[in-house]
Structure 1
Amino acid sequence: MDPALARLVRDSGCRLVGPDKGLYYNPASRYERCQTDDAAFAKLIAQYGFAVAPSAMHAARTTGYGGFEIGIEADFTKIDSDADYWKRGTQGPQDPTTKDFSIENRSPDAFLQHYALKVRKGFPFGFELTTAVGFLANTNLISAGADVRWALFEGFRKGIPAIFPEVAVGGSVRTVTGTEEFQLTVAGVDAQVSKPLPISGTVVVTPYAGYQWLRIFGDSGLIDLTPNTDAVSYCNFRGVNSPATPVEGQGGAPVPYDGQPVCSGGSQADFNNTVVFDAVRMTRHRLHFGAQLRFQMVKFGAHFITDVVPPEDANQGEAYEIAGENKFAGLGQQWTLAIDLGAVF
């Protein structure tokens, strides 16, 4: 399930598939580069982003001044696994003998599994900081980030204030590493209400619900759309157009030093197939609810997250269109089921 962005092109005839199933430069395309499938890239980033986004998996009450919590969280996020962009845009399994990847991922995982270690620390005046580090299963992607939360109303056990639910607001960010194909960062703002319900003195059940606003930032790295053709060798590269390796124009006329590749008997056309995809900026609105069960120091939680509106409806305007069509058209609403287990000190 690691990304394979070189496969996301709109015109397959711009390159050749070799006997080894590799992607090679097609001389018939001359200097016209392969066209990136930016809509497919945007949808891929949208679904990766939902999976690694901060889960806001906590009640409104903080760990308290001097409080400390460490836990493990597991998130299972539904994706559009039958979509073409998942099949073309991810590597798929390796051949056990040759270790080669298939030309497409014929059976993408139905869920993205994200596992994280989280540490929460309480501070005075209802503030709390969280750090998290995790990974996406079946990929090389590693996530890391932090949260800050402020409990506006918490901890009342007697009198009229004890009747009302606790309220908190927070902000969070996650970023991803482990691949050179894209950079992905997700920022979120959330608000929550919760109500602890003591049972038998030693057990506390805390149901909670909230809303989260997400902003996803996705940028591709430099992607070679013809990775099996070495552009340097194809050009017979001898340098760039500079005083050290100048290029002569017609009749020996001088040519401005523009830094373009200088070839010796070859063609520089394949250099055009090293590209970047259009940057992705998108908003998502999510509802989440869940419950925590605490017995003395041990805490267990279950959590559900879902889109409030389809991604296409949340991202309207020319900035989200390609050739007059919304780049998130047809992208399904996602949901995540999460569980966690931790210890509170």
Structure 2
Amino acid sequence: MRARGLLASATVALSLIAIQTEAQAEPMDPALERLVRNPACHQLPTSGGLSNVGAWNQMAGECQPDDVAFKRLVNQYGFALAPLALHSARTTGYGGYEISIEGSYTSMDKDADYLVNGTRGSTDPNTNKASIRNNSPDQFAQVYYAKMRKGFPMGLEIAGLLGYMSHTSFMIIGADVSLSLLEGFRRGVMGVLPDLSVGGGVRTITGTPQMQLTTVGLDVKLSKPFTIADSSVFTPYAGWQMVWIFGDSGLIDTTPSTDPNRQCGYVGPNVPGTPGTPLPNRPYDGQPVCNGGSPLDYNNTFVFDAVRLRRQRLIVGGNYRYEMVFFGVHYITDLLDSSAANNNDRDLKGVPKQYTMAFSVGAMF
């Protein structure tokens, strides 16, 4: 049974956040209040069909969270926001550093119900009213970063970055670490071998109260530089990456157009000192005390099940450097589909593989 007392105390804060979020919402921001198994619970019927999303329809019962849709939505966002490992196995060298701008474009399951219903959609420019669904989700999630890498002794390198996802309110903070186990040999047998590195990275988002999302990546890469006319270097690389996705929802009010305090006639929590307490045959339990109304709308506020997923990815790319300026191209794709990568999770059956095209431009010093 949900803790109605906690939900009641959070109602005012949620209302203020919802108003602010709605006013500043971007088309691809999450709209988790729509992800319910019984949509009629927050859609009052009119002559034109179901409308007025967010007003509780008591005839349909309490809203039931669609945890499968939430898992699939997190799965899509997670792939797009996972660490890119957009560099070769060779580090910038002891004392060296790199400044770059990166852009990635990740395929999205744009026609899927969980993306259509689970993202905000556009706002009508004439009425300033929000959509009740996103009729045209982005086909590609666009993510842009400003990044700096710094080399240290013994093949160690760290990086920090800051970015955002286009058409969302997401700001992304991340860090990477890489260790080159084999690099820099030029002669003999060792000079024939490619550079080898292991690395890891983390990305987390801020900017939305509806969802917390963090991704962690671990990669192994091989690369080999080829010198061109003494002043240019082309370095192709390939590797494998494991990604872990951690997604959690905030406290989601699925009936934001219905005020549970007003419907309840909220007096206060069921604790000593609240008017009308103690209630007959009930201990002090912190639950809402209603003055002639119903407390049932409090049950329409909930948290989705936590999402913990894995993705296995193939990395292929190349970097062209002329003196200190470089340009890189990067391709990432799923090795396994989402279900197979997560022990044949039935919730992810039929979800298509994703891929990312990424580009970088910058300078090495």
**What's the TM-score, normalizing by structure 1?**
0.94
Residue 247 (1) aligns with residue 280 (2): no
| RMSD between superposed Cα atoms in Å | 1.3
Distance 1:23 1:254 in 2: 34
Distance 2:281 2:39 in 1: 39
Match of 1:170 in 2: 199
| Amino acid of the structure 1 residue aligned with 2:74 | I
Which of 345, 349, 356 is the aligned partner of 1:329?
Answer: 349
Match of 2:57 in 1: 26
Residue 125 (1) aligns with residue 145 (2): no
Give unmatched runs, 5+ long, in structure 1: 321-325
Aligned residues: 333
Contact kept, 8 Å, 2:42 with 2:53, in 1: the verdict is no
Match of 1:309 in 2: 336
Which of 185, 188, 191 is the aligned partner of 2:220?
Answer: 191
Distance 1:27 1:160 in 2: 76
Contact kept, 8 Å, 1:247 with 1:254, in 2: the verdict is no
Residue 329 of structure 1, CA deviation: 1.3
Distance 1:80 1:13 in 2: 25
Residue 17 of structure 1, CA deviation: 3.2
Distance 2:222 2:38 in 1: 50
Match of 2:10 in 1: none
Distance 2:175 2:44 in 1: 44
Match of 2:314 in 1: 287
Distance 1:100 1:50 in 2: 31
Residue 101 (1) aligns with residue 121 (2): no
| Amino acid of the structure 2 residue aligned with 1:298 | V
Match of 2:325 in 1: 298
What SS is found at the alignment partner of 2:43? strand
What SS is found at the alignment partner of 1:69? strand
Superposed CA deviations along residues 180-224 of structure 1, whole A, max 9, x for unmatched, are 111000011000000000000000000000000011000000000
Which of 273, 276, 280 is the aligned partner of 2:300?
Answer: 273
Residue 255 of structure 1, CA deviation: 2.3
Match of 1:54 in 2: 83
| Amino acid of the structure 2 residue aligned with 1:337 | M
| Amino acid of the structure 1 residue aligned with 2:277 | V
Match of 1:323 in 2: none
Give unmatched runs, 5+ long, in structure 2: 1-27
Contact kept, 8 Å, 1:18 with 1:24, in 2: the verdict is no
Distance 1:22 1:53 in 2: 33
Which has the larger helix fraction?
2
Superposed CA deviations along residues 231-278 of structure 1, whole A, max 9, x for unmatched, are 1111111100000115354xxx45210000011121111000001111
| Amino acid of the structure 2 residue aligned with 1:332 | P
Which of 164, 178, 185 is the aligned partner of 1:135?
Answer: 164
Match of 1:341 in 2: 361
Residue 3 (1) aligns with residue 33 (2): no
Contact kept, 8 Å, 1:71 with 1:119, in 2: the verdict is yes
Contact kept, 8 Å, 2:164 with 2:171, in 1: the verdict is yes
Distance 1:299 1:223 in 2: 45
Distance 2:260 2:359 in 1: 48
Contact kept, 8 Å, 2:236 with 2:318, in 1: the verdict is yes
Distance 1:258 1:339 in 2: 56
Distance 1:118 1:107 in 2: 31
What SS is found at the alignment partner of 1:327? helix
Match of 1:180 in 2: 209
What SS is found at the alignment partner of 1:25? coil
Distance 1:195 1:277 in 2: 46
Residue 218 (1) aligns with residue 238 (2): no
Superposed CA deviations along residues 294-330 of structure 1, whole A, max 9, x for unmatched, are 001101000000000101011126xx4xxxxx11111
CA 1:270–1:63 in structure 2 vs 1: closer, same or farther (change >3 Å)?
same
| Amino acid of the structure 2 residue aligned with 1:239 | G
Runs of 4+ in 1 over 4 A off after TM superposition: none
Match of 2:233 in 1: 204
Residue 263 (1) aligns with residue 290 (2): yes
Distance 2:169 2:229 in 1: 45
